[in-house]
Amino acid sequence: MLSRVADNLYWMARYLERTENLARLVDASASLMLDLPQRLSPGWQPLITITGNQQQYAEFARGDYSEKAVVKFVVAEPKNSGSMLVSIARAREIARTVRDILPRAVWEQINELHLYVGEHAVEAAGKRTRHGFLEHVIECTQRLTGMLEGIVSEGDALSFLTLGRNIERADMTSRTVDVRSAAMMAAANLEELRPFESVLWMSVLRSLSGYQMYRLTTRERVHGAGVVRYLLADEHFPRACVCCLRRVGDVLHRLPNSAPLLRRVARMRRAIHHTQFETLGQGELHEFIDRLQLSLARTNDELARVYFVGHNAPSATVTPIRVA
């Protein structure tokens, strides 16, 4: 396979996964606002922090962290390189260039989703229409994931699609855990918020569609340390970091010249497994996730160096999060 084609497939998978992740984050955040008293609401600023666009948003909105401004920026802002609108547009453009090696149904589904987001993105700003719009986006991207897994022949094309999807997932999961846990642990010191602690952690799980699987797997109440461990270290939940890294390793074993990448992935998995999350303070947890995100970024760079000669894609992982 040409390195240019491998590069395109890798990034198409990342953009599709990013589109779905953004839809989940906005939907879960809106639900959380309804579950908490207004005076205790974390607001919409954490969405900007999770996506890593603080500097760009500061220039765009000049301190306006209202619901309308944040949702528009994350979902429908064409000047935001990480918005849902831009992500699906980039995925569609890449799909157009590799139509000859993808099933026709995949191209048609991506094109349909691109048209839908372009025409209906404004609905995300309305409280009555937001959930329906986001739910449709999630369903379409999940259908695409099923198509790619179900009708694309095993080989190099599927390998680079799988790499892109799982590196994007691991990055977004780590960001969500970092930002949300910072808010939760700070809130745990406020007596007023203690009755809502479980609600806050359930929101973290729901933003990654992990609530039911968490309950089935752990069979324990929802609490901070348990949620952090589950989302970072569970081997079987598809959006947990370790599970994503295991899938990346499985693909790399089938690719040539992958030994350095396999060692890096193995180091990340060992670091997560050997960490006692129950004993970490917020500063230590943030430092750990910061290192994990840097390692994911370096994994992306190493993939580009080994397989994507002359790649022109933007940085896979934006600057690691800084949480005050």
In a domain, 298, yes or no: yes
Helix (H, G, I), strand (E, B) or coil at 237: coil
Whole-structure pTM value? 0.89
In a domain, 314, yes or no: no
The region of weakest confidence among 46-60, 99-113, 147-161, 236-250 is 46-60
In a domain, 212, yes or no: yes
In a domain, 324, yes or no: no
What are 64-67's contacts with CB under 8 Å, separation 24+?
A: 67/33
- With beta carbons less than 8 A apart as the criterion, state whether 183 and 42 touch: yes
Cα separation, 195 vs 290, whole angstroms: 30
Going by C-alpha positions, the residue among 305, 302, 20 that lies closest to residue 173 is: 20
In a domain, 26, yes or no: yes
Hey, what are 298's tokens? Answer: 């370096």
Give me the mean pLDDT over the 189-195 stretch.
Answer: 60
pLDDT greater than 90 at residue 286: no
In a domain, 178, yes or no: yes
In a domain, 317, yes or no: no
Predicted confidence at residue 312, as pLDDT, reads 47
Write the CB contacts of 95 (distance below 8 Å, at least 6 apart in sequence). Answer: 12, 102, 106, 107, 110, 111
In a domain, 315, yes or no: no
* Full domain range(s) for residue 39: 3-307
Number of structural domains (the chain) is 1
More confident residue, 34 or 299: 299
Cα separation, 178 vs 289, whole angstroms: 7
- With beta carbons less than 8 A apart as the criterion, state whether 295 and 264 touch: yes
Predicted confidence at residue 138, as pLDDT, reads 95
